[in-house]
């Protein structure tokens, strides 16, 4: 299917009435979220609220049981129903995944490859891009995230913050339509966390479309256009960050923020 024409007002990502269960355990209970081009949407909530599961369903790493996922107006095609539902078109899945690059909590770098090789691997092997062009892009993105001098190092030789910045460069090298971040700073100590937060803020300032699952309320407040508070698999509250953080409407969000934001 051809990509649909996309205007600035059209969602790059659209999730409608999404349901996800693991057997009898329902994790997402009818969630609606969208992100237009240039939007930064942060997902916040307690552990077990469904945030990371939502991101994995969006990137088709997990199968959802009901609802629609649309990328640039194109709906994911499914076969089967309920717990047997799965994507029907492998080529579509690959296209969507390569356009929704995901950065994970645990970096997921290949230990036997240099940082440069890690960043180049998917564009060369999956997208079949020219190796010389990919190398130039990879070096540019590693410079962009502040670790250009680490091209020939291996992951074990880098700090956690440097490894996460390498993972961000790897995602950028796919030239995606949007970036998905799943708790990108939660495995880092506070000093290294700030290295990664700065990179994410810089990407937000460039107008990149991003969806971020985070425990860092300050980052969510600083970088987001829209914040979604998930509770027990449902959207409890959502809105602009200044409104959500300064004037929460629900008791659950007030309780969550009082426990999450340092005094």
Q: In terms of Cα–Cα distance, which of 209, 227, 213 is closest to 99?
A: 209
Q: Helix 160-173 vs helix 115-125: angle between axes, to the nearest 10 degrees?
A: 20
**Structural domain boundaries enclosing 216:** 11-107+179-257
pLDDT tens readout for residues 23-33: 889 999 999 99
pLDDT at 1: 39
pLDDT at 2: 42
Indicate if the pLDDT at residue 157 is higher than 60: yes
Average per-residue pLDDT for the chain: 92
Domain presence at residue 155:
no
Indicate if the pLDDT at residue 113 is higher than 70: yes
Domain presence at residue 4:
no
pLDDT at 190: 86
The whole-number average pLDDT for the span 92-110 is 92
Domain presence at residue 87:
yes
Domain presence at residue 37:
yes
pLDDT tens readout for residues 214-237: 999 999 999 999 999 999 999 999
Structural domains in the chain (count): 1
Domain presence at residue 130:
no
pLDDT at 262: 56
Contacts (Cβ under 8 Å, ≥6 apart) of 54: 15, 18, 20, 28, 31, 33, 43, 213, 230
Provide the CATH number for the domain around residue 44: 3.40.50.300
Domain presence at residue 151:
no
Query: Which neighbouring-strand residues pair with 101?
Result: 179
Distance linking the first and last C-alpha atoms of the chain:
51
Domain presence at residue 158:
no
3-state secondary structure of 70: strand
Domain presence at residue 125:
no
pLDDT at 202: 93
3-state secondary structure of 165: helix
d(CA 64, CA 185): 26
* CA 104 vs CA 3, 16, 120, 179, 184: distances in Å: 27, 24, 17, 11, 6
The percent of residues in the chain predicted with pLDDT above 90, rounded, is 87
pLDDT tens readout for residues 45-98: 999 899 999 999 999 999 999 999 999 999 999 999 999 999 999 999 999 999
Indicate if the pLDDT at residue 263 is higher than 60: no
The whole-number average pLDDT for the span 190-200 is 90
């Amino acid at each position: 299917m051809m990509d649909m024409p996309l205007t600035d007002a059209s969602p790059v990502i659209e999730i409608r009435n999404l349901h996800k269960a693991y057997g009898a355990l329902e994790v997402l209970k009818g969630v609606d979220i969208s992100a237009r081009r240039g939007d930064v949407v942060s997902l916040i909530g307690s552990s077990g609220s469904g945030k990371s599961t939502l991101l994995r369903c969006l990137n088709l790493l997990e199968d959802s049981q009901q609802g629609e996922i649309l990328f640039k107006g194109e709906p994911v095609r499914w076969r089967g129903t309920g717990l047997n539902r799965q994507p029907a078109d492998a080529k579509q899945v690959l296209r969507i995944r390569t356009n929704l690059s995901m950065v994970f909590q645990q970096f997921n770098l290949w230990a036997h490859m240099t940082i440069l090789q890690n960043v180049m691997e998917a564009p060369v092997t999956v997208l079949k891009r020219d190796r010389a062009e990919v190398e130039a892009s990879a070096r540019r993105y590693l410079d962009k995230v502040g670790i250009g001098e680490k091209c020939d190092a291996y992951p074990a030789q880098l700090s956690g913050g440097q490894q996460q910045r390498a993972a961000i460069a790897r995602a950028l090298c796919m030239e995606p339509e949007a970036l998905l971040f799943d708790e990108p700073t939660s495995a880092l100590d506070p000093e290294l966390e700030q290295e990664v937060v700065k990179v994410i803020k810089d990407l937000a300032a460039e107008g990149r479309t991003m969806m971020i699952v985070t425990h860092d309320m300050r980052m969510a407040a600083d970088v987001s256009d829209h914040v979604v508070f998930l509770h027990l698999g449902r959207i409890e509250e959502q809105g602009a960050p200044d409104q959500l953080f300064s004037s929460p409407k629900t008791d659950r969000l007030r309780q969550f923020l009082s426990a999450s934001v340092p005094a």
